[in-house]
Structure 1
Amino acid sequence: MHAHAATAPSGRTWAVAARLAWPAVALYAVTRVLTFVVLAIWSRSTPESLGKVLGDFDGAHYVLIADKGYDAVAGGKEMALFPLYPMLVRGLGWVSPLSTAQNAILISAVASLVAAWGIFAVGNHLADRRTGILLAVLWGVVPHALVQSMAYTESLFTALSAFALLALLRRNWVTAGVLTAVAGLTRPSAIALVGVVGLVALIAVVRRQDGWRPWVGGLLAPLGWLGYILWVGNQTGRIDGWFHIQKTIWRSSFDFGSSAFRVAKKTLSTASALDFTVVTFVLVAAILLLALNVVDRLPWPLILYSALILISAIGASNYYNAKARLILPAFLLLLPAARALARTQISKAALILTFLAATSVTFAGYLAFIWKLSP
């Protein structure tokens, strides 16, 4: 990490950053357009519309919150879902002629493009421009990349996390703190980002680096996540209200990966559904990629962030089918692959990415129209 406190970016800085990032965002956008085209064609042979599958499962809950608030379902079930995304959907609804579900998909699509920019920027900072571009594109062709275009929060959270981590690398403490606070209103797994930013800021404070800025960044970081957890506690009349809802209504708690291990073992030892097999492969590959980042001496805050996202996904009980989706914000796990591709001939890298894109969009069709559980 650089040893100076960077100043706030100027308009010229943003213009330069946009010119650097546009190939990454454009190529990532191609992966999204390709996915939409394949799903639109596939939907013609099924009774389900493209809009229906992109707004299904958790998306339906977010749309309900956007339309009717957290009191829409008795028992507080919806309070397990964090508020930033549905509030953005509601806000867009004030000016948009689209339906709430369509607005939700639109916000996710735009957020995915911003995420691609942030992912590129981190890759460019850590290595070079080609690595950054490839990192963004690889994120768009992972097996469960469909979720990046659905009415889910992964794209929004990844966008906020990428730019928060970039600010942290540049020692822009206040920016990192603000973005982390906002990310904390997006997903429960934002506690990983909160912990990393808070710890790095604390170390800077102890070492008396950068004056007052680490203090402010570190104090801002937990406000979003902690604020929502306390709000749910106040609404439910118990301090552990959010965790209680997760455990009793959504049947999910932290079991240190014991249930995930059991399902993975069963998946590999019996004839299993394709999604469970792919999820198992993705989780094993993620652990390997994390180890490669350690060997490559990736800055420790980035390793810690990736590890905590991975642990939060594997360690949660239930919903094995969703675990590959839950690690999408750990985009830095793809860095070893991006580095390797950056060293290959452009024609070879293009062939590999084309194959991965074809595999990803085909699997997207499977998840959307054949698989019956959430992706």
Structure 2
Amino acid sequence: MAPPRAPLLRRAAPALLGYAAVRALGLVVLAVWSAARGKSAYTVLTARWDSLWYTRVAELGYGYEVRLPNGDVHSNLAFFPLLPWLERSLHAVTPLSYADAGFMVSLLASLAAACGIFAVADQVYGPRVGICAVLLWAVLPVGIVQSMAYSESLFTALAAWSLYALLTGRWVWAGTLAALAGLTRPVGAAVVAAVWVTGVLSFVRDRSTTSAPGAHHTEHSPAHTLGAPDGTHAPALTPGAHASIAPFAPSAPAWHRALGMAIAPLGAAGYVFWVGRRTRKGLFGYLDVQAGWRNGFDGGYAFARFVADKFTSFPSALAGVGLIIGVALLLWLYVTGIRRRQPVALLVYTGVVLALALCASSYFGSKPRLLMPAFPVLLPLAGALARLRTSRSVLVTAVLAGAAAIYGAFWLNGSGPP
């Protein structure tokens, strides 16, 4: 009989400490860089770009819009309501301003996201890979956004814990967290899709198991495929195991699964319907709001044009090559996840996040930020990092953390929005 595992929070403690250290480094470098340029790092984090739109919603509600000289209309209806609601609630019970409340929500949400990422990776591959996954998420080049009064950290936290709930058979929790994710960002559809696809496959599995002669139900124990807790290579999932459906989840009653599936889309659908009613344009109201921001879904055509345009001159051609390499790396990591039989919930979620980010028709400079919630693509890299000696993995992480801190400070002190 295997010894009982330590509580999740205790297992996640090293990952959270490492995450906090990386984020602290990023904030210190940002503060120094901003001060050298005569700017306030805190203002950059809390009162510029999207942060201003969120705090305006928190303070004044919806209805504010900006009409640009070219005729475009930027409406704050484009921003989903959960982050502003939390900012307003925290402002109401504390002396914090709306901007301060947004920063505090982001700070706490980033820690919750780090813990959720650890929980998912630990459940699938073990605690060592979980720690490495969290650290890799922290040292992303755009990781400084995790400390901004933006909604990425909040969304990633809700998505990660919803996926963890799916992997452990907590369907009502999975659906509830998916609904909250749907109130946070349009990409909440990715979490809803993960719940629905996993749910449908679970019912298909039940039906095939019930109808098969002599069929009996077996529960699968965790099988770590990338790295064991001691850093050694653990055995892969055995062929025929339902690894692609819900590999480690105990059986759940059908009504639990159905209820979770029913709850999951309520957040996103509720807000989209509300916007449609407010704009008097029905189901297309939110799409019209996004069109006012020149944002839409074109299958990646505009992004491909953007990359192609980089090759009109030599200096920008280097950026074009970098973009192609970056996209190819993302796709390779995603395919690697498929080949290593990641649970279908992770594959569906990641696939939708990647598709929505890469195939959006505008805000190309923001795509790295929009890709940040796709943390499962980091799991193959986390497995490779986990197999290194501890001293080497620490060195690699430290170098990446320093590079990310410098890039983040440079990025946020630029002219354009992240």
Tell me, yes or no, if the aligned pair for 1:70 and 1:76 is still in contact at 8 Å: no
Return the structure number with greater helix share: 1
Residue 166 of structure 1 aligns to a residue whose secondary structure is: helix
Task: State the partner residue of 1:164.
Answer: 162
In the TM superposition, residue 41 of structure 1 has moved relative to its aligned partner by 1.0
Candidates 111, 124, 144, aligned match of 2:122: 124
Gaps of 5+ in 1: 1-11
Task: State the partner residue of 2:385.
Answer: 341
The one-letter amino acid paired with 2:156 is T
Task: State the partner residue of 1:4.
Answer: none
Task: State the partner residue of 1:70.
Answer: 62
Task: State the partner residue of 1:152.
Answer: 150
Mapping of residues 1-375 of structure 1, within 5 Å: 16-55=7-46, 56-73=48-65, 77-206=75-204, 207=206, 210-239=253-282, 240-247=284-291, 249-267=292-310, 270=313, 271-272=315-316, 281-369=325-413, 371-375=414-418
CA–CA separation in structure 1 for the residues paired with 2:374 and 2:174:
17
Tell me, yes or no, if the aligned pair for 1:143 and 1:364 is still in contact at 8 Å: yes
Residue 285 of structure 1 aligns to a residue whose secondary structure is: helix
Cα displacement string for residues 239-274 of structure 1 (whole angstroms, at most 9, x for unaligned residues): 110111101x10011010011112123335632399
Cα displacement string for residues 46-93 of structure 1 (whole angstroms, at most 9, x for unaligned residues): 132111111211111101111111123366700011000011001110
Query: What root-mean-square deviation, in Å, do the aligned CA atoms of Structure 1 and Structure 2 show?
Result: 2.0
Q: 1:274 to 1:37 in 2, by over 3 A?
A: farther
Tell me, yes or no, if the aligned pair for 2:353 and 2:371 is still in contact at 8 Å: yes
Residue 94 of structure 1 aligns to a residue whose secondary structure is: helix
Residue 303 of structure 2 aligns to a residue whose secondary structure is: helix
Residue 299 of structure 2 aligns to a residue whose secondary structure is: coil
The one-letter amino acid paired with 1:155 is S
CA–CA separation in structure 2 for the residues paired with 1:216 and 1:192:
18
TM-score normalized by structure 1? Answer: 0.92
Tell me, yes or no, if the aligned pair for 2:310 and 2:319 is still in contact at 8 Å: no
The structure whose Rg is larger is 2
The one-letter amino acid paired with 1:346 is T
TM-score normalized by structure 2? Answer: 0.82
Tell me, yes or no, if the aligned pair for 2:311 and 2:317 is still in contact at 8 Å: no
Cα displacement string for residues 299-327 of structure 1 (whole angstroms, at most 9, x for unaligned residues): 12211211110000011001110111101
Cα displacement string for residues 126-176 of structure 1 (whole angstroms, at most 9, x for unaligned residues): 111110001001000011101111111110000000010011111111110
Tell me, yes or no, if the aligned pair for 2:193 and 2:348 is still in contact at 8 Å: no
In the TM superposition, residue 211 of structure 1 has moved relative to its aligned partner by 2.5
Cα displacement string for residues 201-242 of structure 1 (whole angstroms, at most 9, x for unaligned residues): 233345366231111000000000000000000100011101
